[in-house]
Amino acid sequence: MDKREIMRKTITGTGGMLLVQTLKDAGVDYLFTNPGSAETGLFAALSEDQDQKLIVGKHEGLVAAMADGYHRVSGKVGVVIAHVMGGSWQLAGQLFNAQIAGSSLLVIAGDWASEIQDFRGLAAFPGLTQAESMRAITKDARAAYQVAANPAAITIATTRALREATTPPTGPVYLSISAELLLREGLEAQIGEAAAYQIERPGPARPKTIEAIAKKLGEAKCPVLMFGDDVWRERAGVEAVRLAEALEAPAFATRQIFPNFPTRHPLYCGNYPVSKDFEKVAGLKPDLILLAGVQGVHGSVAEPFVIQIGPNPLLMGRHYPLDIAAQCELPETLRSITDALKRLHPDKASGWARQREKVRAYAKLLVSREEDLAREHEHDAIVHPSVLETHLAQLLPKNTVMVQESSTARTTLLPFGHDAMSWTRSGGGSLGFGVGAAIGAKIAAGRERPVMLHLGDGALTYSAAGFWTMARYNTAILTVISNNETYQVVRTNWAREVPDSKMVHTGKYPGLYLDAPATDYAALARAQGVDGETVKTLKELEPALRRGVERTTRENKPYVIDVKVQREGIGADSTWYQDWKM
């Protein structure tokens, strides 16, 4: 009898008990939830078991973001217990973020489906199943399933869903289970597949492919490297740096959710696409791009030769042609490419360094420009975003995990990477991610590792109810709000799209100004049990940040700092809004 057979056992109980035991056997320690009546059988089973910790949020979107943040930091599946259709649809924005990010989540919800009564309040409309309604925002827009009648399917479908969520391309899976089945007693099922739900991932690229990639990289005048989120997930950061340094090649980023290449490395050249400024300073025109672990580029690819490698083939070459492509793991593949470079081009390494010496000059220029901007505003009365950035870089502990939900926050001076601070953002851009994700990240990181949430005031208003969850579970998160009283990124985009419009010329941007009346976010946090303060001037900033770091790291309490920051860009001085009242 093998180990797998020894682990198997038959249990009898309610459907809820079968589900709880299956999740326990799979190593699920936390369940993120906003409870509902259709899941009575599950919560009754949890009240008897109590081995798993329940994390309650006051909105389903918060709950999904919590599970996502937990997954991103722990690497484990984030499990959500949601409600029937009306509750499940509340997940939409944050489940979309998880889908785009490729986060391994499992959402389990009760289902009131009945062949006799085909409509009930909060249930799916007649003719549409609950699982089918959720399919569009799951992995591959297809991973939504239903358990309606067979009790044995509870354990099988749950294990299958865990397997599907964690197998590349990873992503959220939705599973609805009959509410009646969760309550029914005397059910019997085999359980015990445990952690064996995971499938072995792809292996390294073939030697022939590695040789072809190394040959082209060595022949290129200016190869561009882009390292995506699977580099972070597979812990291939060291190998990514080693390859970049062997080539003396610039590393760029696209809409990533992790710091896949160290942001303060002297070869890190900011965001793709490659700017004309780079070509001017470096004196090089990129002629090849290697995309490693990148799902897909946000926009087009300009380089004439394109190589893409990684475990997830979903978006490989979807919007651009590929010259070499391989579905493979990354650490060993990147190591092998670097070794092959040295073997195939033994005399070129010193030449690459001379030929591309100004790449490091460009990377240094990006940092010096940001430092100059901070110096320019270091005596302003109101905090400039670059000054806030410099303070965070100086005061945050170097092992901090930062959750960011601000498209306009400045981060050039912050050291993110496998050897520095960790960092993540939503991925899909659906607001409401930050507070929940930070809570999940802190639960995964534990008491000793600091977690900081940096978000805008516009984003916070989507998820401020999460302060209650912070207080209940004492998740010691330092929340810093960059409060510019506007949707700045939207204003920036509008001004870029219609620069000659009356809206831009007059500075009247409908719907974007968020003051009048002002919101006291520190008071909003205090009302839910989290202490905090408001910073209105620059001289208040450093003492407040030091108090926040002290409160969260030494006293182990969550703390909120609402920082009034300057607006930037075209229309920054606009405070116009349609001033009408009923």
Global confidence as pTM: 0.95
pLDDT at 403 over 70: yes
Residue-level pLDDT at 4:
43
Work out how many domains the chain is built from and give that number: 3
357 and 405 share a domain? no
Are residue 220 and residue 171 in the same domain, yes or no? no
**Beta partners for residue 144, in sequence order:** 174
Grouping H, G, I as helix, E, B as strand and the rest as coil, residue 560 is strand
Kindly state whether residue 311 falls inside one of the protein's structural domains: yes
Co-location of 214 and 159 in the same domain: no
- Find tokens 């390494």 and name the residue: 349
Domain check: are 158 and 212 in the same one? no
Domain-ending residue, one of 160, 188, 216 = 188
Tell whether 178 is covered by a domain. Answer: yes
Q: Is residue 120 domain-shared with residue 248, that is, in the same domain?
A: no
- In this structure, the answer to whether residues 177 and 251 fall within a common structural domain is no
- The stretch 270-295 carries a mean pLDDT of 95
Asked if residue 197 is part of any domain, the answer here is: no
Same domain, 239 and 353: yes
- Residue 578 domain-assigned? no
| Cβ proximity of 417 and 444 under 8 Å | no
Where residue 406 falls among pLDDT bands split at 50, 70, 90? very high
Do residues 527 and 387 share a domain?
yes
Q: In terms of domains, do 433 and 546 share one?
A: yes
Q: How far is C-alpha 324 from the geometric centre of its chain's CA atoms?
A: 28
Question: Which candidate, 133, 65, 141, 136, places its Cα nearest to that of 105?
Answer: 65
Domain hosting 144: range is 3-188
Instruction: Give the domain CATH number at 297.
Output: 3.40.50.1220
User: Using one digit for the tens of pLDDT, what is the confidence trace for 460-473?
Assistant: 999 999 999 999 99
In-domain check, residue 504: yes
Q: Are strands 401-405 and 451-456 parallel, antiparallel or unpaired?
A: parallel
CATH number at residue 176: 3.40.50.970
Q: Does one domain contain both 65 and 160?
A: yes
Task: Please give the mean pLDDT across all residues of the chain.
Answer: 93
Q: What is the pLDDT of residues 99-158, one digit of tens each?
A: 999 999 999 999 987 777 777 777 788 888 899 999 999 999 999 999 998 888 999 999
Specify whether 342 is located in the same domain as 390.
no
Among candidates 182, 166, 149, which has minimal Cα distance to 81? 182
On whether residue 514 sits in a domain, the answer given is: yes
Same domain, 57 and 157: yes
Residue 297 has pLDDT above 50, yes or no: yes
- Among 72-86, 344-358, 457-471, name the one with the lowest average pLDDT: 344-358
Is 43 domain-assigned?
yes
- Distance (Å, whole) CA 289 – CA 274: 11
- Given this model, what pLDDT does residue 10 score? 81
With bands split at pLDDT 50, 70 and 90, how would you rate the model's confidence at 6? very low
Does residue 372 form part of some domain? Answer: no
